[in-house]
């Protein structure tokens, strides 16, 4: 189980991006974290993956543990070795490498040759299009294919917990639906998922549990289906507000999602 | 025609050695964002240790030890200095390598003293003749060995896990780290390879027709620098092409110096820089590079 407790993170010693966030990803569950631009979603994943340092960010207090072991102060590669692998925001595939090389880069940590083969087979089974485009340059894939490659690349390390940062970003509704199904399938195969999203519809559909992050703090949490039914989430994230003006007002204060109807 | 062929052959051989050095620059720059100005001293260190060891050991053993020790120096510099200062500016890291270079060269110069230290290669000063065209055996072997090493390098860069990790890390360091690729390991290996290649080049550069191990050969590494830059510092293919261009240009400029006297005597020595400047005027990021040096 991945546990984050009372986590405070600052950038450059000044900007406070997370102000005491507590959440948990129980084994085998899909946990969604919703939040608008700048809520601190990416910061949360950076803290888990131990790459805050690359952004002049720092954990001021609190803890991040996986199965009781602290992740703070570890090297990013050690976090991967422990079984937590991230699919970063904006996909960030290696565009000059081939599809196959991208997958190899994802499986670099694994020593065992047969495990690597098995992981690769799993990825090609999940994403047949990647097998077809194996030797092509990754930069030439479409946005949706690139997202699949980014997920496949992370799966090459056979993670226990998959961390996904806005996989729906910039994709058409139909593709977003596919991504949702894939997340569901990956979870069914035994991988826990921490899904960071602005697209609440898809996220709440696949998630078991959900948290709403609001300017660095958890403002709502609970069962994903129950949360989806609450007034706040209906209004703020799903665009089914009873009072359109009220929703609009919240939009203009910048508290809601930019693509809340997607 | 004979002169032309002979200059071509010697230029290619010299260019292959420059390419070895330039590949080292390029791979180190890609992996650790460091412009290594200490390649001259690594080259000298490799040639010096090999020549000294060869006094007591079989030549082949001395060569392997010399290359290994030079690679070790590269590794040491990376682990003790570069790795700890990761994230510092490109400029300060470059100046750091200049500092190390000065220390190493000063010490080696003191040790060499006024002796002429010969590289006791079994082929000595022999010359191979193909018709009227001649090349020293040393330079012929240099071309052969360089060709094999360059081929091996590109194969590894393209097909091995190291190559994939290296290219992924160069394209997007943070994402590579998120995938579990260790930047420290990528960079350390690059320094080992870069220093090792410099040692191999040094070995041949102090052999015939050059008169032996003298501190002056570190200036040769400086000529591989324009080779790497004109090819594009972050391009390994560019390093190869750049090395060959510089080698050929130098060879022809020296061989035909009577015909180009109007450019001044000793034009062969400055031609690498002239070629580099001309290329950079047209293509600021080098022939195959993707980044301008000023923007790194
Ligand atoms: N490298 C950085 N340096 C300084 N401040 C940063 C940095 N990265 C993020 N921040 C700040 O931290 C806060 C949280 O940012 P974060 O990127 O975690 O939000 P997010 O929820 O992922 O937003 P988005 O939905 O736009 O991706 C914001 O106020 C942001 O400006
Ligand atoms: Mg984000």
pLDDT in tens, A6-32: 999 999 988 899 999 999 999 999 999
- How far apart, in whole angstroms, are the C-alpha atoms of residue A257 and residue A34? 9
| Average pLDDT of chain A, as a whole number | 88
Which residues on A lie below 8 Å from B161 (Cβ)?
Answer: 104, 108
Task: Note whether residue A252 is domain-resident.
Answer: yes
**What ipTM does this complex have?**
0.88
Which pLDDT does position B62 carry in this prediction? Answer: 95
Mutation test of the interface with chain B: which of A50, A52, A77, choosing the one with the most B Cβ atoms within 10 A? Answer: A77
pLDDT confidence of B273, banded at 50, 70, 90? confident
**Inter-chain contact A86–B178, Cβ cutoff 8 Å?**
yes
Q: Determine, for residues B179 and A108 on separate chains, whether the beta-carbon distance falls below 8 Å.
A: yes
Query: Residue A247: pLDDT above 50?
Result: no
pLDDT of residue B216: 77
Any domain includes A108: no
For residues B239 and B88, give the distance between their C-alpha atoms in angstroms, rounded to a whole number. Answer: 25
Q: For residue A35, tell me if it sits in a domain.
A: yes
Least confident range of A182-186, A209-213, B98-102, B123-127: B123-127
Query: With the CA atoms of B68, B204, B151 and B65 taken in that order, what torsion angle do they form, in degrees rounded to the nearest 10?
Result: -10
Q: Is residue A142 part of a domain?
A: no
**What's the CA-to-centroid distance between A163 and ligand 2, angstroms?**
12
For an interface test with A, give the residue of B180, B184, B232, B288 to mutate (most A CBs within 10 A). Answer: B180
Q: Does B161 touch chain A (CB under 8 A)?
A: yes
Tell me, yes or no, whether A250 lies in a domain.
yes
Pocket, ligand 1, Cβ cutoff 6 A? A 11-12, 15, 17, 35, 37-43, 55, 89, 198
Residue with tokens 């579990």: B180
For the domain that residue A200 is a member of, what is the CATH number? 3.40.50.300
- Chain A contact for B158, CB < 8 A? no
How many other CB atoms are found less than 10 A from the CB of residue A106?
A: 35
Cα angle A68, A70, A72; round to 5: 160
**What rounded mean pLDDT belongs to chain B?**
88
pLDDT at B161 (0 to 100): 92
Decide if pLDDT at A256 tops 80: no
Q: Is A252's pLDDT higher than 60?
A: no
Alpha carbons A156 and B289: distance in angstroms, whole number? 31
Beta strands, E only, A190-236: 192-197, 209-214, 217-223
Model pTM?
0.87
Structural domain boundaries enclosing A212? 2-91+159-259
Say how many domains are in chain A. Answer: 1
């Amino acid at each position: 189980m991945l546990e984050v407790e009372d986590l405070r993170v600052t950038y450059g010693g000044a900007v406070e991006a997370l102000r005491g966030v507590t959440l948990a990803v129980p084994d085998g569950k899909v946990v969604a974290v919703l939040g608008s631009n700048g809520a601190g979603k990416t910061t949360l994943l950076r803290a888990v993956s131990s790459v805050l340092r690359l952004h002049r960010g720092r954990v001021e207090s609190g803890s991040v543990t996986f199965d009781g072991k602290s992740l703070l102060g570890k090297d990013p590669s050690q976090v991967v070795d422990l079984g937590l692998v991230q699919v970063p925001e904006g996909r960030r595939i290696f565009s000059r490498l081939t599809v196959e090389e991208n997958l190899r880069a994802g499986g670099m940590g694994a020593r065992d040759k047969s495990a690597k083969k098995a992981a690769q087979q799993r990825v090609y089974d999940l994403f047949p299009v990647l097998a077809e485009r194996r030797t092509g340059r990754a930069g030439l894939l479409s946005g949706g294919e690139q997202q699949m490659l980014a997920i496949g690349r992370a799966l090459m390390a056979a993670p226990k917990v998959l961390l996904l940062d806005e996989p729906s970003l910039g994709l058409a509704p139909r593709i977003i639906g596919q991504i949702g199904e894939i997340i569901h399938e990956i979870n069914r195969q035994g991988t826990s998922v921490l899904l960071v999203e602005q697209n609440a519809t898809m996220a709440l559909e696949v998630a078991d549990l959900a948290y709403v992050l609001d300017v660095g703090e958890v403002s709502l949490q609970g069962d994903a289906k129950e949360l989806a039914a609450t007034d706040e989430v209906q209004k703020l994230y799903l665009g089914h507000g009873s009072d359109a003006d009220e929703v609009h007002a919240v939009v203009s204060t910048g508290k809601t999602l930019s693509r809340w109807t997607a | 025609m004979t002169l032309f062929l002979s200059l071509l052959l010697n230029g290619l051989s010299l260019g292959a050695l420059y390419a070895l050095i330039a590949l080292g620059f390029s791979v180190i720059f890609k992996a650790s964002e460091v412009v290594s100005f200490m390649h001259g001293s690594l080259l000298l260190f490799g040639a010096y240790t090999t020549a000294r060891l060869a006094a007591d050991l079989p030549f082949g053993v001395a060569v392997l030890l010399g290359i290994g020790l030079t690679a070790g120096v590269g590794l040491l510099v990376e682990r003790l200095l570069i790795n700890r200062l990761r994230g510092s500016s490109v400029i300060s890291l470059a100046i750091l390598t200049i500092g190390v270079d000065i220390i190493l060269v000063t010490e080696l110069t003191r040790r060499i003293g006024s002796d002429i230290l010969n590289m006791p290669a079994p082929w000595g000063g022999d010359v191979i003749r193909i018709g009227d065209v001649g090349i020293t055996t040393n330079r012929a072997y240099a071309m052969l060995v360089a060709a094999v090493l360059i081929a091996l390098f590109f194969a590894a860069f393209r097909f091995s896990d190291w190559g994939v990790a290296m290219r992924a890390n160069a394209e997007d360091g943070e994402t590579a780290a998120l995938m579990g690729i260790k930047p420290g390991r990528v960079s350390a290996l690059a320094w080992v390879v870069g220093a090792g290649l410099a040692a191999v080049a040094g070995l041949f550069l102090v052999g015939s027709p050059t008169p032996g191990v003298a501190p002056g050969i570190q200036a040769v590494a400086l000529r591989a620098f324009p080779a790497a830059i004109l090819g594009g510092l972050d391009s390994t293919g560019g390093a190869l092409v750049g090395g060959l261009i510089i080698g050929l240009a130098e060879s022809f400029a020296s061989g035909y110096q009577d015909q180009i006297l109007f450019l001044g005597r000793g034009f062969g020595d400055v031609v690498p820089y002239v070629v580099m400047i001309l290329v950079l005027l047209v293509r600021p990021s080098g022939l195959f590079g993707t980044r301008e040096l000023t923007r790194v």
